[in-house]
Amino acid sequence: MNGTIKINLKLIMLTFCIVSASIIILFFSSYSVSGITDGLSYTVNYLVPSLFPFMVISSFTMNSGAYKFIGKFFSFVTRRIFKLPEPAAAAIILGLTGGFPVGAKCVDMLYSSGEIDEIQANRMMTFCVCSGPSFLITAIGTIMLHNTSIGIILYVSQIVSAVIIAFLTGCRQQSAPVCSEKKVRNKSIAESFVISCSDGAYSVLELTSFVVIFSMFMSIIEKSGFNNLFSDAINFFDITGSFSEIIMPIFFEVTGACRRICDGGFQPWVLSFAVGFGGLCVHLQILHILKSVKINKLKFFIFRFINAVLSSIITYVIFLFINPSAEVFSFKIGENTFAESVSGSYIGAAALIVMCILFLLSFKRSYYPNRITKGKFFR
């Protein structure tokens, strides 16, 4: 009887939310259209160019069996440093270079094939979630801020934060056991390519729907004045108005949040925090992709916040040592004012990336001398 009451109450509340959402969308139809337009614009201009190629590459890598070779090549780093089975190497690399959903997709495929267990999948999702270089360097750095070096620094901060979390979460783990390979038929190159393109297209379409929905509701919240009530409540705790205006966008949808942060004249560490957290829109995408894995959601959200804080600290520290004679840019605050200028050195940013790569490859040097693999930049 109690169970029936609980189910009925749940259905009643769900129905109430559906009806309320429908009425709000109809009542604020102009705001809804504006939000949908913005969401589609974000997707077409920023997300599809940066995510689709890596969606295809990640799926092709897993379907063709190429991930096994990558795993053997980085076996020492994967097993001794990350304390994970060899096949996890490809998922880690693609997760750190491909963008938010790519790492989750690779983890799901590894778990489905039995090459990692549930505990390892959960641990990988504490650090194998990173905004890719195409989104950070091209979309944010070059397009939004007109300064590529800022995007490079943001990306380096994400990578360093992920490596630190991976190392710390692996300290208490035993060395990963040798993976017992399942006899899974590797698909042909042609078959893998066709499947990968289909998977990539479906993933991007799914991503677009999430971004559009969140962008629509954010537009209604902001333009209807509800965001002002939230800002007033936040300002009660002595948080400045400018920061209170970006808290909700950061929490809900990262692309629109980055656009607002760039237009609002905030310091780079705020951008680093936003992309490090990812936003609820990205989180739901990842959890949907990992529906076959029993993910500890509380742990996942806690580590997203830890990653955001750590990334912002790393970005802040890096900017303390930037050469002031390097290229300078300004964050726009309003129509006629500009925030304090910050500068960046292309050489310094490139050196930071090289140092991060050498840090990982240095553990492999005795096994593969004079070999350096190159990563590709995309979100």
What are the residue boundaries of the structural domains of the chain, listed by start?
27-364
Taking 80 as the threshold, does the pLDDT of residue 184 lie above it?
no
Q: What percentage of residues in the chain have a pLDDT greater than 90?
A: 14
Query: What is the pLDDT averaged over residues 144-163?
Result: 90
**pLDDT at residue number 185:** 55
Tens of pLDDT, residues 215-233: 888 888 877 776 666 566 5
**141: how many CB neighbours lie within 10 A of its CB?**
25
Amino acid occupying residue 224: S
Unique residue bearing structure tokens 């050469």:
323
Four-residue CA torsion sign, 46, 198, 185, 111: positive
Across residues 119-125, what is the average pLDDT?
A: 91
Are the C-beta atoms of 165 and 304 separated by less than 8 Å? no
Integer Cα distance of 305 and 112 in angstroms? 28
List, for residues 30-82, the tens digit of each pLDDT value.
888 988 998 888 888 877 887 788 888 888 888 888 888 887 888 788 888 88
* 284 residue type, one letter: L
Q: Flag whether pLDDT at 339 surpasses 50.
A: no
List 332's β-bridge partners, or say none: 338
pLDDT at 208: 87
> Which phi and psi (to 5°) does residue 241 adopt?
-60, -40
Which range, of 91-100, 143-152, 200-209, 315-324, averages the lowest pLDDT?
315-324
Lowest mean pLDDT among 97-101, 184-188, 234-238, 333-337: 333-337
Q: What is the pLDDT of residue 274?
A: 93
* Residue 237 clears pLDDT 70, i.e. is over it: no
From the list 170, 191, 211, 168, the residue with the least C-alpha distance to 39 is: 211
Q: Evaluate whether 185 touches 156 at the Cβ level (below 8 Å).
A: no
pLDDT at residue 329 tops 50: no
**In this model, does residue 271 exceed pLDDT 60?**
yes
Average pLDDT, the chain: 76
CA torsion, ordered 42, 48, 54, 57, to nearest 10 deg: 170
**So what's the pLDDT on residue 244?**
67
Sign of the four-CA dihedral 155, 160, 162, 163 = positive
**Three-state secondary structure of the chain:** CHHHHHHHHHHHHHHHHHHHHHHHHHHCHHHHHHHHHHHHHHHHHHHHHHHHHHHHHHHHHHHHCHHHHHHHHCHHHHHHHCCCCCCHHHHHHHHHHHCHHHHHHHHHHHHHCCCCCHHHHHHHCCCCCCCCHHHHHHHHHHHHCCCHHHHHHHHHHHHHHHHHHHHHHHCCCCCCCCCCCCCCCCCCHHHHHHHHHHHHHHHHHHHHHHHHHHHHHHHHHHHCCHHHHHHHHHHCCCCCHHHHHHHHHHHHCHHHHHHHHHHHCCCHHHHHHHHHHCCHHHHHHHHHHCCCCCCCHHHHHHHHHHHHHHHHHHHHHHHHCCCCCCEEECCECCCCCECCCEEECHHHHHHHHHHHHHHHHHHHCCCCCCCCCCCCCCC
Grade residue 272 by pLDDT with cuts at 50, 70 and 90: very high
Whether residue 132 has pLDDT greater than 60:
yes
Confidence of residue 155 (pLDDT cuts 50, 70, 90): very high
d(CA 259, CA 140): 8
pLDDT-wise least confident of 44-48, 97-101, 133-137, 186-190: 186-190
Whether residue 95 is predicted with pLDDT greater than 60 in this model: the reply is yes
Rounded-to-integer distance, Cα 345 and Cα 271, Å: 18
Mean pLDDT of 332-338: 36
How much is the average pLDDT of 205-212? 86
Cα(125)–Cα(247) distance, integer angstroms: 24
Q: What's the average model confidence in pLDDT over 260-271?
A: 86
Q: What is the pLDDT of residue 162?
A: 92
Taking the C-alpha atoms of 194, 288, 226 and 39 in order, what is their torsion angle to the nearest 10 degrees? 0
Whether residue 124 has pLDDT greater than 60:
yes
Q: How far apart are CA 84 and CA 77, in angstroms?
A: 9
Place 349 in a pLDDT band, splitting at 50, 70 and 90.
Answer: very low
pLDDT score at 52? 84
Pairing of strands 327-329, 342-344: antiparallel
Of the candidates 49, 147, 144, the residue with the CA atom closest to the CA atom of residue 99 = 49
Judged by average pLDDT, the poorest of 142-156, 186-200, 316-330 is 316-330
